[in-house]
Amino acid sequence: MKFSQRDYEGYVTLDLKGKLTGGPEAETFRDLFKSLVQQDKKHVIINLRDIEWISSTGIGILIRGYKTVREAGGEFVIVRVGERTQQVFNVLRLDHIFKIAANEDEAVEFFKKS
Amino acid sequence: MAGQHNVMELIIPSDFKYLGAVDAAVQDLAREFSCAQKWIDDFSTALVEACTNAIEHGNKYGRKKRVRITVELNQRRIISRVHDQGKGFDFKKYLSHAPPPDPLSERGRGIMIMQAFTDQLNYSFNPKTGLCVELTKACGGTAEDDS
């Protein structure tokens, strides 16, 4: 999995690409979220548009990021979930944990209301 | 695809970066049989999960250890067996009595995924050859159903 960081309407947006499977990227992601929280960037958008599929270890990466942000008082919104990833989210009922939005605009609306 | 039958064997190192190759191989095999894309995706999701467990929990990322995967596809069903070189675990407990993971746990969802995306999930353990996970799914739909 590769990722890049950009700003959308003043909020950190992470564009993930490839296969979300864990491994070395788990540590990179953990460090990134710690760094974001330290910079007081507590609201984060995770764009999964270019994620081909996700494994249970990949879900662990997302949950760790979610917990880091939430413990700092922030919000964590996942956008543009592909069909295959959505199937896994449905089975594990992850929509009960993550805020899932159609796109970045919907995520921003959520941040403004929270 | 009546009458067709195909068997594939893959051996991968204990590294997550090879999971993509497993997915791609299953996708290619199933497309040859004109299987529906969602059906392929569901089965491959379960298979990748079995390989993830074999790498992480079975082989513990051992550099010299391998994961052997066989995939058998015919007009009725697909069966895959994933063999690791580990010491096994109490799979009977996990298959029948395991509580769902804490919602905020970062682990413990692999078996749930495999059970959800297959019709049958079996484990066996041989001290000489390691753990084998067998995943079975009946064929459902063809590529024509995708359109």
Instruction: Give per-residue pLDDT as tens, A2-56.
Output: 899 999 999 999 999 999 998 778 889 899 999 999 999 999 999 999 999 999 9
pTM of the model: 0.91
Considering only residues 58 to 77 of chain A, which have any Cβ-Cβ distance to chain B shorter than 8 Å? 59-61, 63-64, 66-67
B36-90 pLDDT, tens digit per residue, is 999 999 999 999 999 999 999 999 999 999 999 999 998 889 999 999 999 998 8
A26 touching chain B per CB within 8 A:
no
Tell me which of A82-96, B48-62, B82-96, B133-147 is least confident.
B133-147
Buried b (16+ CB within 10 A) or exposed e, B123-143: beeeeeebbbbbbbbebeeee
> Domain B5-101+111-146 belongs to what topology?
Heat Shock Protein 90 (3.30.565)
Q: pLDDT at position B34, please?
A: 86
Cα torsion A45, A49, A55, A57: sign: negative
Asked if the Cβ–Cβ distance from A53 to B109 is below 8 Å, we say no
Tell me the per-residue pLDDT of A61-72, one tens digit each, with 9 for 90 and over.
999 999 999 999
ipTM (interface pTM): 0.91
Q: CB-based contact (8 Å) between A97 and chain B?
A: yes
- Per the model's pLDDT, the better-predicted residue between B108 and B3 turns out to be B108
* Average of per-residue pLDDT values in chain B: 90
Q: Which domains does chain A have, with CATH numbers?
A: 2-109 (3.30.750.24)
Contacts of A61 in chain B (CB under 8 A): 106
Give the three-state DSSP class for B114: helix
Place of tokens 């078996």: B111
Q: Does A37 touch chain B (CB under 8 A)?
A: no
**Token code pair at residue B97:** 């009595």
Q: Which residues contact B147 (CB under 8 A, 6 or more apart)?
A: none
What's B72's DSSP letter? E
Q: How far is A109 from chain B (nearest CA, A)?
A: 25
Residue B1 pLDDT: 45
pLDDT, mean of residues A97-105: 97
Q: What pLDDT is recorded for position A23?
A: 79
Amino acid at B42: D
| Residue indicated by tokens 């052997």 | B68
Which of A23, A55, A83 faces B49 most closely, judged by CB atoms?
A55
Are the beta carbons of A63 and B52 separated by less than 8 Å? no
- H or E stretch at A50: strand A44-54
| Residue B107 at interface with chain A, using a CB cutoff of 8 Å | yes
